[in-house]
Structure 1
Amino acid sequence: MKNKSIGLLLLVCMLVLALAGCGGSQNNTGSGEGTSASDSTAGQDDTAAKPLKDVKVVLDWTPNTNHTGLYVAKDLGYYKNEGLNVEIVQPGSTGADAMVASGKAPFGVSYQESVTQARTQGVPLVSIAAVIQHNTSGFAAPVDRGIKTPKDFEGKTYGGWGSPVEEAVMGSIMEIDKADVKKVKIVNMGDADYFTAVKRDIDFAWIFYGWTGIEAKLRGEPLDMLYVKDYSEKLDYYTPVLVTNEKQIKDDPELVKAFMRATAKGYQYAIDKPEEAANLLLKDVPDLDKQLVIESQKWLSPKYQDDAARWGEQKEQIWKGYSDWMYEHKLLDKPLDVKSAYTNDFLPEQ
């Protein structure tokens, strides 16, 4: 799960260009595939006679356990029961945010930081659910590098993607430890993964523990993990999130409600039955490492909802705290209109 969330500034430009064609959902883009498991629920007979509405969901990156609830909802017929034929696709060269903002797909997987930057540039993305309740990302290093605190970053080489967000986050947590980010050598990792890069020319990188951290454990390559949320409440932001666009909400709110009812059921299944959910993901994406998917799912499943009242719930203080932090660090041109950036209105009631 390469953390592409931190190389987003170029994407914002593409999103602005995409606005010219902004529209609602594209009803002719589905795969035409049916579900692969019945798991019948009430109402299925009513929808069976009606044509299914084709809906595309664009992932943020390659399929992984952040996305399990989507695959569960597809395979167990939850989308079909809502009258939807959902196609889950990987992003193209323009990325998920641009596709959703322009109306080429009604739904996608994004990140709070990406939505924040986009909205301050006039891009009409709206977050409709937090996939994971707390930020599970952080800076990771092989244990032999001796990086136990942010101060230990000094004199080390960090591998990233060239985004100002990376240095700003690193600098913020280093300041707490009375350390200087200017004493860190920052290099671009390019397409290298974490394991290749730390053997080649870097000491630490920014990862999601739920994927890369679990993989390190399975490979017998222990690491030290410094979660950014542990150093600042403002850095405990939502990553990833599910997004749509304003026009979709205005033109067809019932589609958004139906999609979220089924998706919430998918993630609840992944919370309650992590191993079964992992096997559904593996069935759809058989090239994934089975042991990694199962162990990652076991680790991540209780973190989807965590301490929230329901899966997907988003809080205003989380959106405000992170956007304030971005503005303070000159990563935004203007403050975010927080209330327009997210909504809980499409989450099903408990």
Structure 2
Amino acid sequence: MTHRPMFTALRRRAAKAAALVGAAAMAAGLAACGAGSGTAGASGSDGGLRKVTFMLSWAPDTNHIGVYVAKHQGWFRDAGLDVDIVAVAQAGAEQAVNTGVADFALSNLTNVGIYDLKGAHLKEVLQVQRKSSAIWCALASNTAIHSPKDLDGKTFATFGSNESDAVVRRMIQHDGGKGEFDKVTVGTSTFRTLQSGKADFGGFYATWEGVQAEMYGPKLTCFTEPDYGVPGNADSIGIITADKTIEQDPDLVRAFTQATQRGYEYAYAHPDQAADMLVEEAPDANLKQDFVRRSMQVIVDGQYWGDPKAIADGSETLGAIDYDGVQQYFDFLAESNAYTDASGATVRQAPQARDLATDEFLKR
């Protein structure tokens, strides 16, 4: 499978986030990378529908599925929107949203916090993922690794993120190790880096690469963050937009957010049907139906988006922001000196989740 790893893509962009440049220059660069050419939020010619651009944060996958379902089912059109789903720009989805090249994108609150420290003005308006799906794995054939303490002295396949370093160090130390490891920077495939012998372990997502390893190999030995002392939710994946969009056009934000929320709700209640919609709506991704169905089933069984029964009976809202869980993770990163500002200086004050997210646009 040629899917670009989700976990490493997020961490890589977070690690390499640089000081924001002028909006005009960034907009030009992003346009060259294939972002939508229309003005964000402008009226379209398709029956008066408003043109909206949603930017992927990596290749299409089950984390994006709510947007694809909403488009497939016509729920964006019902809300008066003509949504164009576009590939991620080279500078990243967060930059595209911050400069107005895209109206909305998939990201997570960890990235929003990192970009905020560098001058961006973003908010998450829907948080689909309620608990971390990050897994830290070695090849099962590497019999020297049985638990995180065995990662001491080994080589980590990394994209250079302070965040991932802090997480791995905490897991090793929690398991009784020193938290010392070597690092090698990889390209787009952590699997290939491990198989080449250049590294001993790396980061993946249980809901995607974990499924890939289960179905197609290579087999992995994996460890999860909450089991080894990493607090809160590192993977607060959801929908982001710009503060400016919220201020200038709250009705647009509400319409898009609620149609997308409906898409995720449908996917959680009907995982197989939603998987098939994703495969149909993203043909260029060459997704395998059985793989996508299995990914959705792992999400449902693991309750990664919340308690399905509670969501079905209305006692829990899919998409609500988990402020406390996210803040715990933010505080951990600050304590680990993982934050830097636009000049590269360490920032010891953690971002505040309540300043970076709002669930006022969700349907309750």
TM interval, shorter chain, is 0.7 to 0.9
Match of residue 195, structure 1, among 186, 191, 195? 191
Q: Match of 2:123? A: 126
Q: Match of 1:179? A: 177
Cα gap change, 1:142 to 1:260, in 2 (>3 Å):
same
Taking only aligned residues, the RMSD between alpha carbons, in angstroms, comes to: 2.4
Residues 126 and 261, structure 2, Cα contact 8 Å, conserved in 1 = no
Please state whether the residue corresponding to 2:18 is helix, strand or coil: helix
Looking at structure 1, the residues matched to 280 and 22 of structure 2 have their Cα atoms a distance apart, in angstroms, of 34
Q: Match of 1:258? A: 255
Residues 65 and 278, structure 2, Cα contact 8 Å, conserved in 1 = yes
Gaps of 5+ in 2: 28-38, 340-346
Q: Match of 1:324? A: 331
Query: What is the one-letter code of the residue matched to 1:26?
Result: A
Q: CA deviation at 1:171?
A: 0.6
Residues 51 and 81, structure 2, Cα contact 8 Å, conserved in 1 = yes
Query: What pairs up with 1:1-350 in 2 under 5 angstroms?
Result: 1-3=5-7, 4-9=9-14, 11-13=16-18, 16-17=20-21, 26-28=40-42, 51-146=48-143, 147-182=145-180, 184-191=181-188, 193-201=189-197, 202-232=199-229, 234-286=231-283, 287-302=286-301, 303-307=303-307, 309-332=316-339, 333=347, 334-349=349-364
Q: CA deviation at 1:157?
A: 2.1
Looking at structure 2, the residues matched to 29 and 257 of structure 1 have their Cα atoms a distance apart, in angstroms, of 17
Q: CA deviation at 1:22?
A: 9.9
Cα gap change, 1:335 to 1:156, in 2 (>3 Å):
closer
Gaps of 5+ in 1: 35-49
Query: What is the one-letter code of the residue matched to 2:194?
Result: V
Same amino acid, percent of matched pairs: 27
Q: CA deviation at 1:321?
A: 1.0
Residues 72 and 267, structure 1, Cα contact 8 Å, conserved in 2 = yes
Query: What is the one-letter code of the residue matched to 1:12?
Result: A
Which stretch shifts more, 309-318 or 66-75? 309-318
Residues 135 and 238, structure 1, Cα contact 8 Å, conserved in 2 = yes
Which stretch shifts more, 194-203 or 93-102? 194-203
Residues 110 and 241, structure 1, Cα contact 8 Å, conserved in 2 = yes
Q: Deviations over 1:31-86 (max 9, x none)?
A: x8x8xxxxxxxxxxxxxxx5100100011101011111110000100100000001
Query: What is the one-letter code of the residue matched to 1:313?
Result: A
Which stretch shifts more, 335-344 or 84-93? 335-344
Normalised TM-score (structure 2): 0.84
Q: Deviations over 1:292-343 (max 9, x none)?
A: 1121122124535324721111122123212211211112213313321111
Q: Match of 2:34? A: none
Looking at structure 2, the residues matched to 97 and 77 of structure 1 have their Cα atoms a distance apart, in angstroms, of 26
Looking at structure 1, the residues matched to 88 and 26 of structure 2 have their Cα atoms a distance apart, in angstroms, of 17
Q: Match of 2:36? A: none
Cα gap change, 1:282 to 1:92, in 2 (>3 Å):
same
Q: Deviations over 1:169-217 (max 9, x none)?
A: 11111111121222x22111123x1332221022211000111110111
Looking at structure 1, the residues matched to 182 and 94 of structure 2 have their Cα atoms a distance apart, in angstroms, of 31
Residues 140 and 206, structure 1, Cα contact 8 Å, conserved in 2 = yes
Residues 62 and 292, structure 2, Cα contact 8 Å, conserved in 1 = yes
Looking at structure 2, the residues matched to 220 and 339 of structure 1 have their Cα atoms a distance apart, in angstroms, of 40
Q: CA deviation at 1:235?
A: 4.4
Please state whether the residue corresponding to 1:234 is helix, strand or coil: coil
Residues 69 and 274, structure 2, Cα contact 8 Å, conserved in 1 = yes
Q: Deviations over 1:15-39 (max 9, x none)?
A: x22557899x713598x8x8xxxxx
Please state whether the residue corresponding to 1:242 is helix, strand or coil: strand
Size of the aligned set, in residue pairs, is 329
Q: CA deviation at 1:9?
A: 4.5
Residues 109 and 356, structure 2, Cα contact 8 Å, conserved in 1 = no
Looking at structure 1, the residues matched to 177 and 15 of structure 2 have their Cα atoms a distance apart, in angstroms, of 29
Query: What is the one-letter code of the residue matched to 2:288?
Result: D
Looking at structure 1, the residues matched to 200 and 49 of structure 2 have their Cα atoms a distance apart, in angstroms, of 50
Q: Deviations over 1:240-285 (max 9, x none)?
A: 2210011100000011110011101101110111111111111122
Looking at structure 2, the residues matched to 292 and 18 of structure 1 have their Cα atoms a distance apart, in angstroms, of 41
Residues 29 and 56, structure 1, Cα contact 8 Å, conserved in 2 = no
Looking at structure 2, the residues matched to 260 and 304 of structure 1 have their Cα atoms a distance apart, in angstroms, of 19
Q: CA deviation at 1:220?
A: 4.3
